[in-house]
Structure 1
Amino acid sequence: MSSYNKNQSQGNRAIGIRVLLVAFGALSCGSASANHEPESGNSLTLGVVTAVAPKYSGAKKMAFTALPVFDYQMENGLFASTLRGIGYQGDMGNFDYSAALNYRSERKSKDLRDSQDKKGTLKGMGNVKASMVAELGVGYRLTDYLSVNAQTNLPLTEDKNGNAMQIGMDASLLQTNRHHIGWNIATHFADSKYMQTYYGVTSRQSEKTGLKDYKPRAGIYAVSTELSWRYGEADGWSLTTKAGVAQLLRDASKGPLIRRKTEPGAGLMVAYTF
């Protein structure tokens, strides 16, 4: 497989924990160990991944998440993963493409905090329900060290939560038998439903919470960047770390739910590839 396989889910924690976890999933696809090649074309990666990032997009409070890693990649392109979902990936020359069924996490109203940083006062916002999503991605490898890509995140259930998309660039800064250092930068877009769901306040929510009505516009809502380092042993063991930051922009940064516009995040994955 080629180097492109991001498939980054963009749910409630669009630029936080979820993106970090799915980005780790991209690294686990047959490349979790930089210099380990399975005997057959199929590979199975098992491990654990941890991440820390804002509780939800715009939150000041950080949250810690730990998840098991199960990633089965078949030689024919099919895959099943706790991080990437269930789907298919392939390539044609320098072009890459992927499609997956995945999960967008919920946002609980009890986790929202008001302007005084008090918890539990905004329950009138209601919960944003979790949904199944279709993740579609395409990429183009410009050189052995640089690629561009685009991914969409489309809800198959709870379609009122809206659609999201990102366009990004990946650069390989260092590649050896055991070490890989990569850098990514991305611009995030969303439609009006997505913006209203995660950054807006409806009239009914305003009545229940006392917050002002807020109707954010569709379009660019954030930019993000991250740096990753992966160390792989010949026997299949690997260690991957990631650190990044996202900046909310335009209407997404001005909503009454936003407590922080700059969102840091970091994560660690330990895995073994058979």
Structure 2
Amino acid sequence: MKTLKRTTSVTLLASTLGLLGASPALHAEDWTFSVRGGAASMPRYSGSDERSVTPILGAEIVSPYGFFLNTEQGLGWGNEWGGLSFSTWVGASDERRDKNHLGQGSKRLKGMGEIKSRAQFGAHLGYDLGPFELGATVTHAQKKNDNRDTGSAYSLLQLSIASTLYEGRLGSLDASLSSLFGNADYMQTWYGVSNTQAANSRFSAYRAKGGLVSSGGDLTWSLPLNEQTKLSTQLSMQYLSKEAGNSPIVDRRLQTVLGTQIEYSF
């Protein structure tokens, strides 16, 4: 069964959107290169009821030794042993702006401050059971600065189960279910409102506790156009937990992403 990448941040949704980057191929016989482009309709930030159409642009290089470099995860290494697969990487975390910027962020968040990208470490462990694949992904974003509202280090855990529902003349249809868990620093950074932020924004103060962030699923249809090119379309739906959903910055708990892309490999 095809390995599905499960990223962990948002913008939590872009993250969930596997269209933004497929898992690196393991045990490649030779160097492989791929580029992808497309567009996705998604919320401006996790919890927003505002939507925008955002371009999908990406590239990846995979070596025959398991090392990979891509625009989504960064630099990493992966391998597989029978049904067990493992990969680890270092790259850049997501960011959020308190103004409209290239289809992301929102002026509704004015006064909340910018969550800046910082170094992020990740690891994924998967086990193929035949009709199903179980996965666990852990990521840790380093401390950015001494601003506890937006600069703290934080960690995430995503658990998933995936399966191929159809594979034939019309391509393949893959489905997955996942739950995302964040520590207290993650929840406060992305969904909390400190007293300082409350004084500078339209929102009341809110202290978010660590725990379940969201649960949901993806449907991905992939159609090979030729040996080197494929077209993929994905629908992702995530429902924010009570702890995240009760945040005053959240206007809609059900978050959806619809995107399509063309990938060319050589």
Instruction: Quickly name the TM-score band, shorter chain normalised.
Output: 0.7 to 0.9
Contact 2:109/2:249, CA 8 A, preserved across alignment: no
**Cα shift at 1:92:** 1.6
Q: Which residue of 2 aligns with 1:35?
A: none
Structure-2 residue corresponding to 1:103: 92
- Which sections of structure 1, spanning at least 5 residues, go unmatched? 32-37, 113-118
Aligned partner (choices 127, 133, 149) of residue 147 of structure 1: 133
Question: 2:249 is matched with which residue?
Answer: 257
Question: Partners in 2 of 1:232 and 1:107 — Cα distance?
Answer: 34
Whether the 8 Å CA contact 1:48–1:67 is kept in 2: the answer is yes
Name the CA shift for 1:81/1:178 in 2 (closer, same or farther; >3 Å).
Answer: farther
Q: Relative to structure 1, is the Cα distance of residues 212 and 89 closer, same or farther in structure 2, using a 3 angstrom cutoff? A: same
Task: State the TM-score, normalizing by the size of structure 2.
Answer: 0.88
1:6 maps to which residue? 5
User: Counterpart of 1:116?
Assistant: none
From 165, 181, 185, the equivalent of 1:189 is: 181
Q: CA deviation at 1:7?
A: 4.6
> Counterpart of 1:211?
203
1:169 partner amino acid: I
2: distance between equivalents of 1:247 and 1:169?
Answer: 17
- The code of the aligned residue for 1:141 comes to D
Give the structure-1-normalised TM-score: 0.85
- Counterpart position of 2:228: 236
Conserved? CA contact 1:6–1:23, under 8 Å: no
- The amino acid of 1:17's aligned partner reads A
Amino acid at match of 1:184: S
Select between 187-196 and 203-212 the one with higher mean Cα deviation. Answer: 203-212
Structure 1 residue 134 displacement after superposition: 0.9
* Aligned partner letter, 1:137: H
- CA deviation vs aligned residue, 1:65-93 (integer Å, no higher than 9, x gap): 21332111122111111233211111122
Could you tell me how far 1:157 is from its partner in structure 2?
Answer: 4.4
How many angstroms apart in 1 are the aligned matches of 2:2 and 2:46? Answer: 28
Aligned mate of 1:176, from 157, 168, 190: 168
TM superposition shift of 1:208: 2.0
CA contact (8 A) 1:7 1:23 kept: no
Q: What CA RMSD, in Å, does the superposition of the two structures yield over aligned residues?
A: 2.3
Does the C-alpha gap of structure 1 residues 68 and 23 become closer, same or farther in structure 2, counting only changes over 3 Å?
closer
Q: 2:147 is matched with which residue?
A: none
Question: What number of residue pairs does the alignment pair up?
Answer: 255
Q: Secondary structure at the match of 2:256?
A: strand
**1:34 aligned residue:** none
Matched, 1:25 2:21: yes
Q: Retained in 2: the 8 A contact 1:190–1:221?
A: yes
**Aligned sequence identity (%):** 21
What letter is aligned with 1:88? W
Name the SS of the counterpart of 2:152 in structure 1: helix
179-188 or 44-53: bigger deviation: 44-53
Q: Which runs of 5+ in 2 are unaligned?
A: 145-150
Match of 2:148 in 1: none
- 1: distance between equivalents of 2:142 and 2:114? 18
Deviates more, 1:204-213 or 1:217-226: 204-213
Helix, strand or coil at the partner of 2:197: helix
Match of 2:119?
132
In 2, distance between residues paired with 1:264 and 1:121? 19
Verify the 8 A CA contact 2:222 2:230 in the aligned structure 1.
yes
Using the alignment, how far apart are the partners of 2:19 and 2:36 within structure 1?
15
Q: Go from structure 1 to structure 2 and tell me whether the alpha carbon gap of 1:182 and 1:79 turns closer, same or farther (over 3 Å shift).
A: same
- Quote the Cα distance in structure 2 between the aligned partners of 1:183 and 1:130: 30
Q: Which has the higher contact order (CA 8 A, sep 6+)?
A: 1
